[in-house]
Amino acid sequence: MPDLAWINGEIMPLAEARVNFLDHGYFYGYGVYEACKAFAGEIYALEEHMARLDRSLRALRITPRLGREEITRGMAELAARSGYGEAILYLQITRGVGMRGAARPEGAPVITMFVTELENVTAEAWNAGIAVITMPDERWAHPDIKSLNLLPNIMAKEKALEQGAQEAVFYNERGIVTEAASSNVFAVLAGDRIVTPPLDGRILEGVSRLLILRRARENGIRIEETYFTRAELAQAAEIFISSTGAEILPVTRLNGAAVGGGRAGPWTERLYDNFLQIKKKMGNNA
Ligand SMILES: Cc1ncc(COP(=O)(O)O)c(C=O)c1O
């Protein structure tokens, strides 16, 4: 009997199912799922699964084009068509298809499902039980790895957009500033101290950050890699973010309040000029 897939209403063999390369589920893990069980075509605890699905969808601001009824009809059809006595029905809804970097993809949410046969453990295997290990709960505590686990970053960006901002700057449980959702953070604190958080495993080592620090050193500008709090950030004379796409961008509003009079400050301008010289050099070498 075949494992079957359902993509936005169309049923096909699972082995032939394909999704779009630009799906934000694929880029960022931006989506939700439910794995349900079906006995002879009937879905177990359907209400409970659907209630949790609704909660997850709402939390991630995903509004599928199909309602609960149409989705469960699709699941039931898939279970019936498979003919499996006991089956696992996997349902996934992603935010949709759109260019990477767009916080809100233009495409509608993508609904996919597939059905496979449930394999029961033997009585012998059940009686033998399983082995486990203990470990610290580090889900997901590795922002230094440039991984695809970007859901918290995307959710932060979404919140920023909702509040009329373009980027979100994170602080940790002690109020220490770490980095932004898709960029590193620099600030000019009292006494003309230019600071950026250190590489301690809690931030991504941005290539732009690295180039800014290197260039500053070459030009005799001191930038401290040190911790600072969000309270200090709120008092900063200048703030800017850095990333490959944004290069150096002045932050002129923080939580609705003007930073440095609401304009790019002199240190930001100077470091940006220095940064642009790297590009000029590359242009001359080409
Ligand atoms: C979380 C985070 N921090 C920092 C950066 C900046 O890195 P880079 O300068 O290498 O683009 C990025 C870039 O995507 C990022 O996602």
Domains of the chain: 4-120 (3.30.470.10), 165-285 (3.20.10.10)
* pTM for the whole structure: 0.90
Instruction: State whether the beta carbon of 197 lies less than 6 angstroms from ligand 1.
Output: no
Ligand 1 center to residue 128 CA distance, Å? 47
Strands 257-258 and 253-254: antiparallel
Q: Whose CA is nearest to atom 15 of ligand 1?
A: 182
Dihedral in degrees, nearest 10, Cα atoms 53, 59, 61, 65: 10
Residue 171's H or E segment, with its range, is: strand 169-171
Instruction: State whether the beta carbon of 274 lies less than 6 angstroms from ligand 1.
Output: no
Instruction: State whether the beta carbon of 204 lies less than 6 angstroms from ligand 1.
Output: yes
Q: How far apart are CA 11 and CA 113, in angstroms?
A: 9
Instruction: State whether the beta carbon of 255 lies less than 6 angstroms from ligand 1.
Output: no
Say which DSSP state 121 is in.
P
Ligand 1 center to residue 67 CA distance, Å? 37
102 pLDDT tier (thresholds 50, 70, 90): confident
Residue 269 near residue 213, CB atoms below 8 Å:
no
- Residue 66 has, within 13 A of its CA and on its CB side, a CA count of 18
Q: Is the pLDDT of residue 1 over 80?
A: no
- Dig out the tokens for 98 from the structure: 């759109």
Instruction: State whether the beta carbon of 213 lies less than 6 angstroms from ligand 1.
Output: no
Instruction: State whether the beta carbon of 196 lies less than 6 angstroms from ligand 1.
Output: no
Residue range 179-199, pLDDT digits in tens? 999 999 999 999 999 999 999
Which of 21-25, 39-43, 157-161, 220-224 bottoms out in mean pLDDT, i.e. has the lowest? Answer: 39-43
Q: How far apart are CA 131 and CA 162, in angstroms?
A: 46
Residue 154's H or E segment, with its range, is: helix 151-162
pLDDT, residue 247, reads 95
283 pLDDT tier (thresholds 50, 70, 90): confident
Residue 239 near residue 251, CB atoms below 8 Å:
yes
Three-point CA angle 175, 179, 183, nearest 5°: 160
Q: Whose CA is nearest to atom 4 of ligand 1?
A: 183
- Respond yes or no: is residue 280 known to be catalytic: no
Probe residue for ligand 1, chosen from 184, 202, 215 as the CB with the greatest number of ligand atoms within 8 Å: 184
pLDDT, residue 278, reads 83
Ligand 1 center to residue 144 CA distance, Å? 10
Helices 46-59 and 68-82 cross at an angle (nearest 10°) of 130
Report how far apart, in Å, the C-alpha atoms of 249 and of each of 166, 179, 241, 284 are: 11, 14, 5, 24
